[in-house]
């Protein structure tokens, strides 16, 4: 893929025409600045996007956001919508970490009231929220109770005492996809997930204490209850081993099913089945169950974080109120389409959007715009987006030195390993400010506030 292969629609949107390759059913579009496009074309992500544009039943165009990078089958940062007649559903269009997502908890404290307690808070949250590869949680339940988590998501977590109905009102889809069927989740997947509720995991998952550094839209900030200097907590995790196993199980199913439906694709990693086929429906229901698990996981993690907050700050800290929780690896039925978002966030008009940046840099609160429904199936970016593999990051960055550097900048750090820190070094990611500027200038989401990190907690 060369830059000259793309047609510039405007300064923030580019198109690979349908004529680029004979098997494309729709054009492919890229939200990017000219400068960022030079970086994007260095990996295979746009070739993967063209492959997505060949899939049966795809509508309008295949899309990627400015945080795009190469993924399994679909590029990460991708959005694709399929009609319900001939359209397909593909595990590669959702990813292995089903309903990886973020939620933001807001306090009533100003940064000067809490800054001295950040090292203590980081240690307490690290102790309260189990983290690391394969790490078990403290929440134990029977097989029947666990199936209720898969059916009811955050609603079941709240019913068990891990939050309130007020929380549910601030979660995308109220933390539950009703199509979920626990019977379609394998015993192996359930076994991997049953003891992982309320856990962070590893990789790019984290909890961060942050402050509202800058307000861009006073009216929206007031509506959302955000103010300059406010202390907030950002959580990022997903469906852990359960979601990974669901993806693994159904990729295998789809690969066997494709010949039966006469589906031939340029990349086996795009394995799919017609949405209305038995295989497509089974995956959609299992994926929905994994998404519900992830929402319950973040709900229980929030309970753990709230306990740590109270332990460190006492009554003076007040309560942590949920601003919003949003998924960025999911397929949903929206406007009579099956919308796949893989490393992309729903951004319906007026909806809160939370965009985490790379560790120690900054994050954003956005609000979806009307144009997102017209252009991007109600979607926007999901983060900074990797520009360096984890292996390369560990080769080039010292986790120990990174920790010292963050602490010199006044950011408290609690982490399970130096190698885990190195993998997530800011240099391994794109510039979050540039990514957000693209979607803001393109008119699909507007900036409300920028957040600055005060403490980082990682597995």
244 assigned to active site: no
Question: Active-site residue among 61, 205, 328, 382?
Answer: 382
Q: What is the pLDDT of residue 339?
A: 98
Long-range contacts of 264-267, Cβ-Cβ distance < 8 Å, separation of 24 or more: 265/51, 265/54, 265/55, 266/23, 266/51, 266/54, 267/48, 267/51, 267/73
C-beta neighbour count of 165 within 10 angstroms: 10
β-strand partners of 247: none
- Model's pTM, two decimal places? 0.96
Q: If you count them, how many residues does the chain have?
A: 459
C-beta neighbour count of 441 within 10 angstroms: 14
Q: Which domain holds residue 194?
A: 3-458
Phi, psi for residue 61 in degrees, rounded to 5: -170, 155
Q: Which of 446, 398, 360 is nearest to 122 (CA)?
A: 360
- Tokens 């509506």 belong to 223
Q: Are 72 and 264 in contact (CB under 8 A)?
A: no
User: Counting beta carbons within 10 angstroms of the beta carbon of residue 219, is it exposed (0 to 12), middle (13 to 18) or buried (19 or more)?
Assistant: exposed
CA 55 to chain centre: 24
User: Counting beta carbons within 10 angstroms of the beta carbon of residue 19, is it exposed (0 to 12), middle (13 to 18) or buried (19 or more)?
Assistant: exposed
Q: Give the tokens for residue 204.
A: 């790019």
Dist. CA 208–CA 456, nearest whole Å:
5
- Tokens 């059916």 belong to 151
Q: What is the pLDDT of residue 386?
A: 86
- CATH number at 163 reads 3.90.1860.10
Q: Tell me how many domains the chain contains.
A: 1
Q: Which of 382, 383, 370, 367 is nearest to 448 (CA)?
A: 367
Give average pLDDT by consecutive 10-residue segment, the chain, 459 residues: 95 98 98 96 96 98 97 97 98 98 98 96 95 82 96 98 97 98 98 95 93 98 98 97 98 97 97 98 98 98 97 96 98 98 98 93 97 98 90 89 92 90 88 97 98 94
Q: Give the tokens for residue 263.
A: 């589906």
Q: What is the pLDDT of residue 87?
A: 98
- Tokens 């690969």 belong to 255
The secondary structure of the chain, three-state, reads CCHHHCEEEECCEEEECHHHCCCCCCCEEEECCHHHHHHHCCCCHHHHHHHHCCCCCECCCEEEEEEEECCCCCCEEEEEEEECCCCEECHHHCCCCCCCEEEEEEEEEEHHHHHHHHHHHHHHHHHHCCCCCCCCCCCCCCHHHHHHHHHHCHHHHHHCCCCCHHHHCCEHHHHCCCCCCHHHCCHHHHHHHCCCCCCCCCCCCEEEEEEEEEECCHHHHHHHCCCCCEEEEEEEECCHHHHHHHHHHHHHHHHHHHHHHCCCCCCHHHCCEECCCHHHHHHHHHHHHHHHHHHHHHHHHHHHHHHHHHHHHHHHHCCCEEEEEEECEEEEEECCEEEEEECCEECCCCCEEEECCCCCCCEEEEEECHHHHHHCCCEECCCCCECCCHHHHHHHCCHHHHHHHHHHCCCEEEECCHHHHHHCCHHHECCHHHHHHHHHHHCCEEEEEEEEEEEEEEC
Q: Are 208 and 140 in contact (CB under 8 A)?
A: no
C-beta neighbour count of 295 within 10 angstroms: 31
């Amino acid at each position: 893929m060369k830059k000259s292969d793309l047609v510039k629609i405007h300064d923030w949107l580019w198109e690979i025409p349908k004529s680029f390759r004979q098997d494309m059913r729709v054009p492919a579009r890229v939200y990017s600045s000219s400068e960022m496009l030079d970086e994007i074309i260095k990996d295979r992500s746009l070739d993967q996007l063209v492959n997505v544009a060949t899939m049966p039943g795809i509508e309008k165009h295949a899309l990627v956001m400015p945080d795009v990078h190469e993924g399994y089958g679909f590029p990460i940062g991708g959005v694709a919508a399929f009609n319900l007649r001939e359209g397909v559903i593909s595990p590669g269009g959702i990813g292995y970490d089903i309903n990886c997502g973020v939620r933001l908890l807001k306090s009533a404290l100003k940064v000067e009231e809490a800054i001295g307690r950040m090292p203590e808070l980081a240690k307490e949250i690290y102790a309260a929220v189990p983290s690391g590869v394969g790490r078990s949680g403290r929440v134990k339940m029977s097989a029947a109770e666990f199936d209720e988590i898969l059916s009811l998501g955050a609603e079941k977590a709240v019913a068990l005492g891990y939050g309130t109905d007020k929380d549910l009102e601030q979660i995308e889809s109220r933390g539950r996809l009703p199509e979920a069927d626990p019977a379609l989740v394998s015993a192996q997947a359930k076994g991997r997930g049953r003891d992982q509720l309320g856990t962070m995991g590893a990789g790019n998952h984290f909890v961060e204490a942050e402050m509202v550094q800058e307000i861009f839209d006073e009216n929206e900030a007031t509506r959302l209850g955000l103010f300059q200097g406010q202390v907030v907590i950002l959580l990022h995790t997903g469906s852990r081993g359960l979601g990974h196993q669901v993806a693994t199980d159904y990729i295998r199913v789809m690969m066997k099913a494709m010949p039966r439906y006469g589906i031939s694709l340029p990349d086996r990693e795009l394995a799919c089945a017609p949405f209305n086929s038995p295989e497509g429906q089974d995956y959609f229901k299992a994926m929905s169950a994994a998404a519900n698990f992830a929402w319950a996981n973040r709900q229980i993690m929030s309970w753990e974080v709230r306990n740590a907050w109270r332990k460190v700050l006492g009554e003076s800290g007040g309560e942590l109120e949920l601003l919003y929780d949003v998924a960025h690896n999911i397929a949903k039925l929206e406007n009579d389409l099956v919308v796949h978002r893989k490393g992309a966030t729903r951004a319906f008009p007026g909806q809160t959007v939370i965009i985490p940046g790379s560790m120690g840099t900054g994050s954003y609160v956005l609000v979806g715009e009307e144009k997102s429904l017209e252009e991007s199936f109600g979607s926007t970016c999901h983060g900074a987006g990797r520009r360096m593999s984890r292996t390369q990051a560990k080769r080039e960055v010292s986790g120990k030195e990174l920790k010292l550097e963050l602490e010199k900048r006044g950011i408290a750090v609690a982490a399970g390993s130096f190698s885990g820190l190195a993998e997530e070094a800011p240099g391994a990611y794109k510039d979050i400010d540039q990514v957000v500027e693209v979607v803001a200038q393109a008119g699909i989401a507007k900036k409300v506030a920028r957040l600055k990190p005060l403490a980082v907690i990682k597995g």
